[in-house]
Amino acid sequence: MRYYNLKDPKTTAGFRDAVIQGISSGMGLFMPERIPVMNADFFRRLPGLALPEIAVEVGAHYTGDDIPWPELRRICDEAFDFPVVLRKVDDRKHVLELFHGPTAAFKDFGARFMSGCFRYFASHDERKTVVLVATSGDTGGAIASGFLGVEGVDVIILYPYGKVSRLQENQLTTLGQNITALEVEGTFDDCQAMVKRALTMPRRDDTVRLTSANSINIARLIPQSFYYFYAIGQAGPGRVLSVPCGNFGNITAAALAWKSGLAIDHLVAATNINRVVPDYLATGVYAPSASIQTIASAMDVGNPGNLDRLRQLFDNDFEALKAGVSGYWFDDDSIRRHIREVHDRSGYTLDPHGAVASMGLDSYLDEHPGATGIFVETAHPSKFSDVIGPLIGKEPDMPEHLKRFLTGKKCSVVMKPGYRYLEEYLAEKYSLR
Neighbour tally for 208: CB within 10 Å: 16
Exposure string for 228-266, b = 16+ CB within 10 A, e = fewer: bbbbbbbbeeebbbbbbbbbbbbbbbbbbbbbbbbebbb
Average pLDDT in the 108-120 region? 90
Q: Check residue 119 and give its pLDDT.
A: 85
Q: How confident is the model at residue 255 (pLDDT cuts 50, 70, 90)?
A: very high
pLDDT at 431 over 80: no
Using CA atoms in the order 6, 328, 283, 262, what is the torsion angle rounded to 10 degrees? 40
Q: Residue 211: which of 267, 146, 155 has the closest Cα?
A: 155
Q: Check residue 271 and give its pLDDT.
A: 97
As a whole number of angstroms, the distance between CA 20 and CA 26 comes to 16
Write the CATH number of the domain with boundaries 83-106+220-400: 3.40.50.1100
As a whole number of angstroms, the distance between CA 245 and CA 136 comes to 12
Q: Sketch the domain layout of the chain as residue ranges.
A: 83-106+220-400
pLDDT at 75 over 90: yes
The answer to whether 196 touches 220, Cβ cutoff 8 Å, is no
| SS3 label, residue 273 | coil
159-163: Cβ within 8 A, 24+ apart: 159/134, 159/135, 159/183, 159/184, 159/188, 159/191, 160/136, 160/184, 160/186, 160/187, 160/188, 160/190, 160/191, 161/185, 161/186, 161/414, 163/136, 163/187, 163/188, 163/293, 163/297, 163/300
Average pLDDT in the 194-210 region? 77
Give the number of C-alpha atoms closer than 13 A to the C-alpha of residue 246, restricted to the C-beta side: 29
The answer to whether 142 touches 179, Cβ cutoff 8 Å, is no
Q: Look at 69-73, 210-214, 375-379, 387-391 and tell me which has the smallest mean pLDDT.
A: 210-214
End-to-end Cα, the chain, rounded Å: 33
Q: What is the pLDDT of residues 129-156, one digit of tens each?
A: 888 888 877 778 888 888 888 888 899 9
Q: Which of 101-105, 177-181, 265-269 has the highest mean pLDDT?
A: 265-269
| SS3 label, residue 123 | coil
Determine if the pTM surpasses 0.85. yes
Q: Which residues are registered as beta bridge partners of 189?
A: none
Sign of torsion over alpha carbons 212, 143, 163, 430: negative
pLDDT at 203 over 80: no
Average pLDDT in the 207-226 region? 86
